[in-house]
Every structure is written in structure tokens, then in C-alpha cells.
Structure 1
Amino acid sequence: MAEINPPAWMQAGSYPARTDRLILSALLSYPGFAVDEPTPTRIRQGIKPSYQNYQLKARAAPTPNMTVIVSAGFCFIDNHDSGGLGTYVCVNDGDKTLTVQPAGGAGQYRRDCVVASVYDAETAGSANEWRLEVIQGAYAASAGAAVRPSLPPNCSLIADLTIGPSQSSVAAGQIFDVRNFSVAAGGILPVSSTIAPPRLHPGQTLYLTNLDKMVYGRLDGTTADLVPKATAWSPITLSGAWVPNGATGDSAPSARITHDGTLELSGMARGVAIGAGSNAAFGTLPASLIPLVSYWVRGVAATSVSQDYVRVAVDPSSGSIALVNGSVAIGTGAWIQLDGVRGRAS
């Protein structure tokens, strides 16, 4: 086991800058990306989170031109020239305007990247500095074929820029925020689900900004919803002769996913006869709920026939709802009460 000896903070003399970098690494979250997993002393690098994540955010000039503006903020960048060399803290104390190289001619598209980069002559090259810079991408024959350029090994992505033929300015619509955010160990990481790190330490929590929900890291490296957000009630599309019951105070059949991930149905309908021991198609879930139902749901609905009950079965592959009758036949026009029908596979 390597040890900083004597402890740097107890000595008045000089010591290598790498010592400070390793101390900083110890205060930050451990690696969040598979490429860093073989080097556990690396961190989850990225931008320091803030209200609305405004730190080191790229935006267009007030009058768009071939520049982008990067706001003030802090960035933590790990040394990837060699494993375990520690973390750099990079500070931008005000708006920084970066020049974007002129666009190509007809049929020439490219993707440029705005990055925060560290150059350290101790491990590679001759420069000793950190930069906010735009790395120009290679030209492609279409926008879809343009890819990110090769990036410096020690950098944190800030934004992608799409540059089309003869483009004379970079507007907001050509700037795509791809920042990752770094936090102290155990802190909540606010990040879009599209760029969320794939590996969280057990209990590490993400706030997925684009989905407005929380997920947490599990011991096996996977994630799970911390508290799933309940969806709004959405109408069920009824099949055949089934119609809402229509009585005063009755609600039309509808469905939602509850905060614990359970499918819940509600409302009243009347319609077709269902023989004893028979099944009948009832309706279909809203399309927005079908991907969330990864299990068969079997609930019990009340009917107006001798206090009989029918089972409600939902097919997760199609969202279709079937009524599975018991021992008492249900005549045409009898009502079906769905309130309280909810559950998971049994």
C-alpha cells in the first residue's frame, strides 16, 4: 500500500504537486466509467454541479457568430496519461469566449467539441496548462456521418457543436450540452439520463434531470429507481361494446403506474356478456404505460352480478386487458368496477 510519508499537510517544506492531486482524488467519488475501473484511484471527473448546472456551460453569443461562450465554474479532471496520478482542479473565473473554426464548403459537415483540457509535461508533452478549447472534427458528407474528433486524454467534455456547410454562426440549436458532473463521495449527482455514468457505488444517487427522477447504485453495479414518480391517470381504450358506465359520479376506466411501480386501474364500465369460466377482451392500456408494465398484472374487479368478481389480466407485450370470469355468468349491461385493481405477477 502506497503512503504519502511524511504527511504533506504536516510539513513546511516543498512536496510534489502530485501529492495534492492525490489528496483531491481521495475527496471525490470513485470512477463512474468502465474505462476507469481498472484504476480505482481515479475519480468520476467532470463539472462541479450547481443550481441549474450553469457551471462551465457553453452558450451562443448574444448575436450568434463563430464563437461560443463558456461560463465560469470548476472542473475536476483526472490524469489519464498514466494510471493513478491524481486529479486536477480547473477554475474558470468568468465568461470565456472561444473561437470556432470556419465552416467547410458545400457537402462538408463536422462535429466540433468544447472541452476543458489539462496538459501536464510531467506525464506527456511539454505544455503545463489547462485550457478551455474547441477541438475541430473531421469533415463528413452528411450531418449524420459527422463524429466527434479525437480528444486530449486529460479532458472533460462540455458541449458538442454541429457545423454545416458554409455556416456563419453557431446558434443555440447547434450547441448540445454533454457535460458530466462530479461530486464528493456519496453526494447526489445531477445529470441527464443520456450521459449518466454506468457504474455507481452502492447507495450513490443520481438525479436524472431530463426525467425528473432519482436512481441509486446497487451492489452489483446496476441501478434502480429510488422512488419512481407516479404517472398521471390516462384513459383506457375500451374494446367492442364496452363503454363507461355513465352514472353520476362514475369515472371512465383509466390507468396509471404508482410510485412503487405497480399498475393501478380505476373507473366503471358496462358492456358485453361473459359466460361462466370465459374470458372477454376489455380494452388496451395507453401506449405510454405499456413499456412500464414488465409483468402480468392480475387484479380482481367487482361486478353488479350477485357480488361476483372477475379477474383482470394485463398482457405486458401489448397492453391488452382481459376479464377472466369465475363461476357466475355476467349478462349484457352488467357493470364492472375497476377501482382498487392493482398488483404485480402472482
Structure 2
Amino acid sequence: MAEINPPAWMQAGSYPARTDRLVLSSLLGYPGFLVDESTPMRIRQGIKPSYQNQQFKARAAPTPNMTVIVSAGFCFIDNHDAGGTGTYVCVNDADKTLTVQPAGGAGQYRKDCVVASVYDAETAGSVSEWRLEIIQGTYAALAGAATRPSLPPNCSLIADLTIGPSQTSVATGQIFDARNFAVAAGGILPVASTISPSRPHPGQVLYQTNLDKFVYGRLDGTTADMVPKATSWTAITFSGAWTNYTGGVSEAPAMARITGDGRLELSGYVTGVAVAAGATATIGTVPAALWPAYWSRCVIGNSLASGYGTVRVDPSNGAITVINGDIAASNTVRWQLDGFSARAV
């Protein structure tokens, strides 16, 4: 429904706080979680990204004790008490120290959660404020059985804390980052792959910080890898007596590249020592920048002996090896690499 004249709140006078919250919602990203899909006016809530994502980061005290420190930053939290209520901006302008409740006795383990929470009496309860707080978990008999407690409906999870029997301090090893990062519509979202939104909006680009990798959101709510740009052909480094074969007419030298759809390609004609049937020989290596993420292999031809073999590239060191697969071949000294094309990334 279109407005012909500017609404009153753009000019002067008083208006509901929800109006401002909806304006903020319009500037932020599409809902990132399945629970929000039925309410498209919600946003992808979470922490504002920053250099190395230091905003609202939970850390141990310099001398560990039963506290955690949450750094300064901005957090966007949607109202889940009622759909379409709008977004709150929560600002922490300095380190905030939070007290962890004492640990239980023998055989008592729990998982606590550090959260940024909004309480709004307009939609639920009688309190109107936002808090940085620790929600205490229930006790379990085993460490692996401890689960997250029920969290406030309007909150952004910051960290999980593991609390063991008679524990007297919370060290770095007991603090597990669980932040989600909010982003303006259309921006790239930096987030660990372990806590990525379950349903990024179509075309949304995510930079997975722990994998140094880009993925994008698909129409069905899943993600797919960004297609890498093809690299330039680069010469391989030969091993031992192996070298480029130059006995023919304009034979191409041995080269390697990554294609635009993420395949490792080899090209060229190489010669070297005889490889006995069933034996393996190392031809050389591809440049470190082209080392594949997986073992890559392909059947190739040997024109001199009319035989065939398998060429492989090792993901751990980029080594190119050839296995003579033709039992009848004995003088296999020329291999054509042009048939090699295998998944690399």
C-alpha cells in the first residue's frame, strides 16, 4: 500500500517506537534462520561484524575466575514475542564483566550461555530494558550430556560456557564462541561455517572465516561454493629425469591450472624413464597455489606404447605421479597429460 504524502513521523510529533524499529529492520538483512521464515519482516539478528569480529566477544578474565568479559560493540535483536514488531539496536560501549554462578558438586556438569537479551513490556512481561547476562544451564551427570538452557525469546547468543564439578574459574578453553553476525541487506556476511545461518537469502555471500572460503545462498535456502576464477597456466616442476617432450611438432610444455568450475587441469607432453607395468613414477609437482583439496586422478594415454595409465595429484604436496596400467607396455616414456581433468576444490 503506497503512501502519497510522507507519514507524520517523518515531519514532527510523537509516534510509536515500533516505527523506528521497523525502519531499522528495513536496512538489515533477510531472515537467516528457518524459525523466522514465516515472518519475512524479521531480520538476520546478531552482532555487527568488525575486524577479526571482536565486537561482543566473550573472553576469560586476565586472571581466570568465575567471570567472563564481553567486549564493546553493536548488536541487533529482533522481537520474537510478536511478528513484525521491529528490531532493537543494543550498544555495549565498554568491556562488561559478567559473573558466572558457582559450580555444582561432584558429578554435576552444566552448560551456561552468555547472551544479549531484550525485554519489552509492550509485547511481553513488565520490564523494558536490554541486558548482557548469563543464563545458567541445568545439571547433567556427564559433561557430554549438558545442554544449553532455554534462552529468552528476544536474545542473541554470544557464547557457551562449560562448567564442571567444583570449578572455580572460567578459562579460555571453557568459552566457545556462538555469535551470529548481522549484516546490512546485500552485504557479505563474515561468519564461521559452524554457526552460519541455516537459510541465507538467495545470492547472499558468506565469508566462512574458519575456512577462508566464500559460499552463497541459493533459492532453496541451502548454500553452494562460490565458483573460483580460472587461474593462468603455470609450468609444473619436474622430478628426476622427467622433462617436456619436444620430439614432435610444436609439442606443448607441461602446465597446470584451476578452471573456473574448480577442476585441476594438466596439459602437455612429458618424457622420462621407462615405467614398468603396474609401477608408479613421480613426474613432478604442481605449484603450491594449485594443490587440490582432494586426491585428483585421471586415465591418460601413452602414444609410444599405445598404452594407458593413471595420473594422480597429491593434495598434501602437489606431487604428480603416473601409474602404468598397460601390462603389455614396457617402454612407456612419453605421456600425454592433456586428458587430465579432475575435481580440485
Structure-1-length-normalised TM-score = 0.77
Q: Which residue in the other structure is 1:71 paired with?
A: 71
Distance (Å, rounded) in 2 between the aligned partners of 1:161 and 1:270: 61
Distance (Å, rounded) in 2 between the aligned partners of 1:92 and 1:166: 31
* Equivalent residue letter for 1:261: G
Matched, 1:26 2:26: yes
Distance (Å, rounded) in 2 between the aligned partners of 1:113 and 1:58: 11
Which aligned pairs between 1:91-170 and structure 2 lie closer than 5 A? Answer: 91-170=91-170
* Equivalent residue letter for 1:204: Q
> How big is each residue's C-alpha offset from its partner over 1:109-128, in whole Å with a ceiling of 9 and x where there is no partner?
10000000000001111110
* Equivalent residue letter for 1:271: V
Which aligned pairs between 1:1-346 and structure 2 lie closer than 5 A? Answer: 1=1, 7-228=7-228, 246-247=240-241, 260-264=261-265, 270-273=274-277, 292=294, 298-302=298-302, 305=304, 308=306, 310=308, 312=310, 329-331=328-330, 334-335=332-333, 337=335, 339-343=337-341
Q: Are 2:241 and 2:273, in contact at CA under 8 Å, matched by a contact in 1?
A: no
Q: Are 2:264 and 2:292, in contact at CA under 8 Å, matched by a contact in 1?
A: no
Distance (Å, rounded) in 1 between the aligned partners of 2:3 and 2:200: 26
* Post-superposition offset of 1:259: 6.7
Structure 2 residues not aligned, in runs of 5+: 231-237, 245-255, 282-290, 313-321
* Post-superposition offset of 1:84: 1.2
RMSD (Å), alpha carbons: 3.6
* Post-superposition offset of 1:191: 0.3
Q: Which residue in the other structure is 2:287 paired with?
A: none
Q: Are 2:118 and 2:155, in contact at CA under 8 Å, matched by a contact in 1?
A: yes
Structure-2-length-normalised TM-score = 0.78
Distance (Å, rounded) in 2 between the aligned partners of 1:5 and 1:157: 41
Q: Which residue in the other structure is 2:252 paired with?
A: none
* Equivalent residue letter for 1:272: A
Q: Are 1:105 and 1:166, in contact at CA under 8 Å, matched by a contact in 2?
A: yes
Distance (Å, rounded) in 1 between the aligned partners of 2:54 and 2:25: 23
Structure 1 residues not aligned, in runs of 5+: 231-243, 274-279, 284-288, 315-320
Q: Are 2:69 and 2:96, in contact at CA under 8 Å, matched by a contact in 1?
A: yes
Q: Are 2:79 and 2:88, in contact at CA under 8 Å, matched by a contact in 1?
A: yes
SS in 2 for 1:197: coil
Q: Are 1:245 and 1:269, in contact at CA under 8 Å, matched by a contact in 2?
A: no
Cα distance change on mapping 1:270 and 1:258 into 2, 3 Å? farther
> How big is each residue's C-alpha offset from its partner over 1:303-345, in whole Å with a ceiling of 9 and x where there is no partner?
5x25x4636488xxxxxx97665xx9421x5236474553259
Q: Percent identity?
A: 71
Q: Are 1:116 and 1:156, in contact at CA under 8 Å, matched by a contact in 2?
A: yes
* Equivalent residue letter for 2:201: H
Distance (Å, rounded) in 1 between the aligned partners of 2:90 and 2:199: 24
Distance (Å, rounded) in 2 between the aligned partners of 1:145 and 1:338: 57
* Post-superposition offset of 1:19: 0.5
Q: Are 1:213 and 1:229, in contact at CA under 8 Å, matched by a contact in 2?
A: no
SS in 2 for 1:194: helix
Cα distance change on mapping 1:100 and 1:4 into 2, 3 Å? farther
Cα distance change on mapping 1:249 and 1:311 into 2, 3 Å? closer
> How big is each residue's C-alpha offset from its partner over 1:253-282, in whole Å with a ceiling of 9 and x where there is no partner?
xx9976742145699775333xxxxxx686
Distance (Å, rounded) in 1 between the aligned partners of 2:10 and 2:38: 31
Cα distance change on mapping 1:85 and 1:172 into 2, 3 Å? same
Distance (Å, rounded) in 2 between the aligned partners of 1:291 and 1:39: 39
Distance (Å, rounded) in 1 between the aligned partners of 2:243 and 2:198: 48
* Equivalent residue letter for 1:44: R
